[in-house]
Amino acid sequence: MASPALISDTDQWKALQAHVGAIHKTHLRDLMADADRCKAMTAEFEGVFLDYARQQATTETVDKLFKLAEAAKLKEKIEKMFNGDKINSTENRSVLHVALRAPRDAVINSDGVNVVPKVWSVKDKIKQFSETFRSGSWVGATGKPLTNVVSVGIGGSFLGPLFVHTALQTDPEAAESAKGRQLRFLANVDPVDVARSIKDLDPETTLVVVVSKTFTTAETMLNARTIKEWIVSSLGPQAVSKHMIAVSTNLKLVKEFGIDPNNAFAFWDWVGGRYSVCSAVGVLPLSLQYGFPIVQKFLEGASSIDNHFRTASFEKNIPVLLGLLSVWNVSFLGYPARAILPYSQALEKLAPHIQQLSMESNGKGVSIDGVPLPYEAGEIDFGEPGTNGQHSFYQLIHQGRVIPCDFIGVIKSQQPVYLKGETVSNHDELMSNFFAQPDALAYGKTPEQLRSENVSENLIPHKTFKGNRPSLSFLLSSLSAYEIGQLLAIYEHRIAVQGFIWGINSFDQWGVELGKSLASRVRKQLHASRMEGKPVEGFNPSSASLLARYLAVEPSTPYDTTVLPKV
């Protein structure tokens, strides 16, 4: 039987490969002089404006990318996702995070059953629970209302909610709703993270939400047991029902853990962990902090992009354009990384969330049919808010390696500040950098320019910027819950587009399993050595010697009594 076709075997892929030479002959300095090209390389939906004129691409490149999309059956793949087809074939699952933000009357089927009513029944339960909680009617074991929430979870059960929480914190409407409350996250199994998450909190006024799709993740379950102990040792075992609630697809294990099933909030296996922020994973802790109506606006923002993604023509479709340009940068121009550079401190946790979303989704070595890929898929995502990044790693981006950048700017700041007498407002100062950096990357600075500035000859090589470094710019009208939802969905769909073109399964994550199973072998060894004095056995010489060195030092905790953090 012939092996399934790879996208790299198609004429459309080869046409793009052949086109690279022509692009290498251009410089963004010249491409940017073409006003028609600049105008053509934009897209807008609601308040989201995308300018991709600073990509190393011409309108011909984009046309060729649309042809590649056709060859990859992108339209059909998008439809299959929205239709609930089991496109996550290695786990035999639908991929329906779009159903989590669909309107109440939408019909989205998985296994022939409309999932939208289930989604809304959980959202209704969250709305009711969060109203009771926030009104102070839900009281803890000692009769006090609870004002602090610690959300315990890792990976997709942490990064998306953290991103949204951080983005909402300084939005005036959200901040007003959150007055007097705290939402914290505990993710790492490091006891230092436990200490930081409960520092200065009183169990009497704290609610813990254990968030885990599987309810088996080693880090989350040990952290959950630790926080349970923190509550029980202070308030007694009966306090658990008032101070611990859960979000999971595995309600059986939630009950076995000792959490009241009435206080468990479900989601479903057709929601991937890293795509789960719009399920109870994010909606519950965020509603406890900000109230359900604000979270609903976030969901509506995401839903608006879902509609745009499904219905807009590819020429105007922001996630499609972004996904195709990323494929161009990675697979044809050979740039393996992407920098995510929001000019908004509120978006400081966007890059960590996109790291998981993108790298866990697209970091694959075989096609969806299991055929080894003759091309690289996935990319290395990293980022920091500008201008902090400018004073850190931008040096490399300007004069070292070529890293395509996403610049994200907001027209209206969440927190306007102006000092009378200053040249510009604080936000305009920030945005001056947002507008300047993409041009610095694109145009660079030539030796001739430097000479005309009388720069001494020995410094010319050091001060020269070759330019021709690609970026794209997003301009959002503002940054309220709605736009935060839009931004999230744009990245989710962009990453799916990349995976659909590369022909991989962007919705499984087998690559995380091997490390987990090796850690469990080490855990057994540490237990046997600590408890029974057993020697280290069955490891390679390097690991054996590292383990022996670790075990040679007395442990900082005795193994026969419970010890909790002291800060």
For the record, the structure tokens of 52 come out as 């991709």
| 155 interacts with ligand F6P by CB under 6 A | yes
| 217 interacts with ligand F6P by CB under 6 A | yes
| 97 interacts with ligand F6P by CB under 6 A | no
Strand order in the sheet with 244-248: 182-186, 148-152, 206-211, 244-248, 264-266
Of 155-163, 284-292, 316-324, 540-548: span binding ligand F6P (CB under 6 A): 155-163
Q: Are 258 and 221 in contact (CB under 8 A)?
A: no
**Cα–Cα distance between 397 and 295 in angstroms, integer?**
36
Q: Return the number of the residue (76 or 256) whose C-beta is nearest ligand F6P.
A: 256
Of 208-216, 419-427, 428-436, 522-530: span binding ligand F6P (CB under 6 A): 208-216
For the record, the structure tokens of 6 come out as 């790879």
Taking the complex as a whole, the smallest distance from the CB of residue 148 to ligand F6P amounts, in Å, to: 22
Q: Are 193 and 187 in contact (CB under 8 A)?
A: yes
**Cα–Cα distance between 481 and 167 in angstroms, integer?**
8
Taking the complex as a whole, the smallest distance from the CB of residue 220 to ligand F6P amounts, in Å, to: 5
Taking the complex as a whole, the smallest distance from the CB of residue 377 to ligand F6P amounts, in Å, to: 18
Q: Are 562 and 233 in contact (CB under 8 A)?
A: yes
3-state secondary structure of 445: strand
Interacting residue with ligand F6P among 94, 110, 157, 486 (CB under 6 A): 157
Q: Are 228 and 234 in contact (CB under 8 A)?
A: no
| 361 interacts with ligand F6P by CB under 6 A | no
For the record, the structure tokens of 198 come out as 């409960």
Residues 6+ apart with CB under 8 A from 55: 41, 61, 325, 328, 329, 404, 470, 471, 472
Taking the complex as a whole, the smallest distance from the CB of residue 517 to ligand F6P amounts, in Å, to: 13
Interacting residue with ligand F6P among 53, 99, 108, 154 (CB under 6 A): 154
Interacting residue with ligand F6P among 273, 285, 291, 319 (CB under 6 A): 273
Nearest CA to 322 out of 490, 78, 504 is that of: 490
Interacting residue with ligand F6P among 114, 214, 425, 433 (CB under 6 A): 214
For the record, the structure tokens of 313 come out as 């023509």
Give the 3-state secondary structure percentages of the chain, helix then strand then coil, rounded to 5: 55, 10, 35
* Residues 219 to 238 in contact with ligand F6P, rule: CB under 6 A: 220
Taking the complex as a whole, the smallest distance from the CB of residue 313 to ligand F6P amounts, in Å, to: 33
Q: Are 406 and 340 in contact (CB under 8 A)?
A: yes
The amino acid at 218: A
Taking the complex as a whole, the smallest distance from the CB of residue 327 to ligand F6P amounts, in Å, to: 23
- The phi, psi pair for 248, rounded to 5°, reads -165, 165
Of 90-98, 213-221, 306-314, 411-419: span binding ligand F6P (CB under 6 A): 213-221
| 499 interacts with ligand F6P by CB under 6 A | no
Q: Return the number of the residue (154 or 476) whose C-beta is nearest ligand F6P.
A: 154
Sort strands 244-248 and 206-211 into parallel, antiparallel or unpaired. Answer: parallel
Interacting residue with ligand F6P among 130, 148, 151, 212 (CB under 6 A): 212
Q: Return the number of the residue (72 or 209) whose C-beta is nearest ligand F6P.
A: 209
For the record, the structure tokens of 68 come out as 């590649």
| 274 interacts with ligand F6P by CB under 6 A | yes
**Is the Cα torsion angle 512, 518, 524, 527 positive or negative in sign?**
negative
**Cα–Cα distance between 348 and 351 in angstroms, integer?**
7
Taking the complex as a whole, the smallest distance from the CB of residue 283 to ligand F6P amounts, in Å, to: 15
| 362 interacts with ligand F6P by CB under 6 A | no
For the record, the structure tokens of 388 come out as 């902090």
| 218 interacts with ligand F6P by CB under 6 A | no
* Residues 504 to 533 in contact with ligand F6P, rule: CB under 6 A: 509, 512
Q: Are 263 and 241 in contact (CB under 8 A)?
A: yes
45 strand-pairing partners: 48
Q: Return the number of the residue (183 or 280) whose C-beta is nearest ligand F6P.
A: 280
Of 42-50, 147-155, 313-321, 382-390: span binding ligand F6P (CB under 6 A): 147-155
**Cα–Cα distance between 424 and 429 in angstroms, integer?**
6
| 156 interacts with ligand F6P by CB under 6 A | yes
String marking each residue 453-482 x if it binds ligand F6P according to CB under 6 A? ------------------------------
**Cα–Cα distance between 289 and 283 in angstroms, integer?**
10
For the record, the structure tokens of 356 come out as 């998981």
Q: Which residues are catalytic?
A: 360, 391, 516
Of 118-126, 150-158, 342-350, 472-480: span binding ligand F6P (CB under 6 A): 150-158
Q: Return the number of the residue (220 or 331) whose C-beta is nearest ligand F6P.
A: 220
Taking the complex as a whole, the smallest distance from the CB of residue 521 to ligand F6P amounts, in Å, to: 18
Taking the complex as a whole, the smallest distance from the CB of residue 149 to ligand F6P amounts, in Å, to: 18
Q: Are 381 and 340 in contact (CB under 8 A)?
A: yes
Size of the residue set binding ligand F6P (CB under 6 A): 15
What is the DSSP secondary structure assignment for residue 9, as one 8-state letter? Answer: G
Taking the complex as a whole, the smallest distance from the CB of residue 249 to ligand F6P amounts, in Å, to: 8
Sort strands 380-383 and 148-152 into parallel, antiparallel or unpaired. Answer: unpaired
Dmax (CA) for the chain in angstroms is 78
String marking each residue 313-352 x if it binds ligand F6P according to CB under 6 A? ----------------------------------------
Residues at the interface with ligand F6P (CB under 6 A)? 153-157, 212-214, 217, 220, 273-274, 360, 509, 512
